[in-house]
Amino acid sequence: MPMTERDRKVLKFGGVAVGAMLVLFFVSKLLSGGSSAFPPLPPTVPRQSSEAPSPTSGVLPPPAGTERDPFAIPTGLGTSTESPTPSGSGSPSQTLSPTPSPTLPGNGASIQIGGHTVVLLDVYAIDGVGHAQVEVDGTVFRPSVGARFAGGRFRLRSTSGDCAGFLYGDQSFSLCETANK
């Protein structure tokens, strides 16, 4: 079927309209920051240093008091346990290394069993299923009730309030969170 002059005009103006809408769509996405799948990054604040850069390195040294081990686990990730500072200042410090604490929390929150140090850090529920945050020999696990952890050596049997029941081999034991978190 041959195209009429009217059909050609509709296709011509329709194509221009579709192209204009696509351009407007992409410009609006570009100006609005793209899709909401990835939130925008927070603004960065430049570091200020009172020290001048070394003429040989060309790199500014970090500000005093901000030195950080590049291989350390960032705060909020991995394992972290609070231990009192030896200076007696009263403020806790965070230890990020996965080693057992030299002094274990009291009040039934920790136990030495089968050569392992077990510390109950938290008891919580997700969708009605009991979970516990447990540290075994410096490694933190988050098992649900019935799950095995720490290489299958331990099993979380139950949770109730701030307490959790565990099984190590055929030995059962319970731990409760300390009140001074």
Q: What is the pLDDT of residue 130?
A: 93
Residue 85 in contact with residue 93, Cβ under 8 Å? yes
Q: How far apart are CA 117 and CA 23, in angstroms?
A: 63
Q: What is the pLDDT of residue 3?
A: 83
Q: What is the pLDDT of residue 67?
A: 62
pLDDT in tens, 65-105: 556 666 666 665 544 343 333 333 333 333 334 444 445 55
Q: How far apart are CA 132 and CA 143, in angstroms?
A: 6
Say which residues have a Cβ less than 8 Å from residue 138's Cβ, sequence separation at least 6.
79, 97, 98, 99, 100, 117
Stretch 43-58: mean pLDDT, rounded?
56
Tokens matching residue 26: 């992409």
Q: What is the DSSP letter of 24?
A: H
Q: pTM here?
A: 0.43
pLDDT in tens, 7-47: 888 888 888 888 888 888 887 777 765 555 556 666 766 66
Residue 92 in contact with residue 82, Cβ under 8 Å? yes
